[in-house]
Amino acid sequence: GENVEQHPSTLSVQEGDSAVIKCTYSDSASNYFPWYKQELGKRPQLIIDIRSNVGEKKDQRIAVTLNKTAKHFSLHITETQPEDSAVYFCAPRVGGNNRLAFGKGNQVVVIP
Amino acid sequence: GAGVSQSPRYKVAKRGQDVALRCDPISGHVSLFWYQQALGQGPEFLTYFQNEAQLDKSGLPSDRFFAERPEGSVSTLKIQRTQQEDSAVYLCASSTLAGGYNEQFFGPGTRLTVL
């Protein structure tokens, strides 16, 4: 199945603090794990991705960690800024297929 | 270079009308995807093309939905006899290779409102 869940649905953080959002999935064949950012009225944009043979990947203030055994991966944003306010979607690739299965999204609000 | 473009950006249809939504992927991109995004939800997969071949249409909600990509570049999503529940943003995405590790680049979407 493609059960993809994101928690928490909404997260408010003070500017400068860290934000962590978690995605759980059910398809054990999934092998590619991207995070997309979508601002209001805009298109989703890839911010970071990880493959199943890697446990962690970092890009400046953003990192993704993967626990394949537990079937979850998390997005970490450090030193949050107001422009980080957006909806973040995890979208694991369904195994054996090129489709991405998007979660319902996490609304992140950075309070200045 | 140009990104993925979609037209029209907004479409209002009366219930029962047919609509056609167009996607221009990034030049040279082999893979093309259509997603449907309802308000407050994540994008949901509709269909996938590799060049002109439609390899997966399992996400199309009913036989009123039809997609084509006859020359392996531009794609059209057609919805016949539109219903109110079809109201959503329709997103097109393309990626450079046939494999699944490649970033999907999204277009701006077409917002369809069915009255």
Give the pLDDT confidence of A76-90 residue by residue, as tens digits.
999 999 999 999 999
Mean pLDDT over the full length of chain A: 92
What average pLDDT does this structure show over A48-56? 88
- Put simply, the answer to whether B91 touches A43 (Cβ < 8 Å) is yes
- Higher-confidence position of B38 and A51: B38
- Higher-confidence position of A71 and A7: A71
**Residue among A44, A98, A105 whose CB faces B31 most closely:** A98
Q: What is the pLDDT of residue B99?
A: 62
Q: What is the pLDDT of residue A58?
A: 95
Asked if B106 has any chain A CB less than 8 Å from its own CB, the reply is: yes
What average pLDDT does this structure show over A77-105? 90
Q: Is the pLDDT of residue A99 over 90?
A: no
Taking chain B (115 residues) in runs of 10, the rounded mean pLDDT of each run is 92 98 95 95 94 93 97 97 98 83 91 98
User: Are residues B98 and B50 in contact, defined by beta-carbon separation less than 8 angstroms?
Assistant: yes
User: Residue A96: pLDDT band by 50, 70, 90 thresholds?
Assistant: low
Which residue type is seen at A18?
A: S
**A51 vs B contacts (CB less than 8 Å):** 101
Q: What is the pLDDT of residue B29?
A: 93
Q: Is the pLDDT of residue A28 over 80?
A: yes
Q: What is the pLDDT of residue B2?
A: 83
Say if residue A112 is preceded by a cis peptide, omega within 30 of 0: no
Give the number of beta-carbon pairs within 8 Å between A and B.
56
**Residue among A42, A44, A45 whose CB faces B43 most closely:** A44
Chain A residue set in contact with B, beta carbons under 8 Å: 31-32, 34, 42-46, 49, 51, 89, 91, 93, 97-105
User: Are residues B103 and B26 in contact, defined by beta-carbon separation less than 8 angstroms?
Assistant: no
**A98 vs B contacts (CB less than 8 Å):** 31, 33, 48, 50, 55-56, 98-100
- Contacts of residues B45-52 at CB distance under 8 Å and 24 or more positions apart, as own/partner, are B45/A99, B45/A100, B45/A101, B46/B77, B46/B90, B47/B77, B48/A97, B48/A98, B48/A99, B49/B75, B50/A98, B50/B98
Two tokens, residue A80: 């949050």
Q: Is the pLDDT of residue A95 over 60?
A: no
- Put simply, the answer to whether A43 touches B41 (Cβ < 8 Å) is no
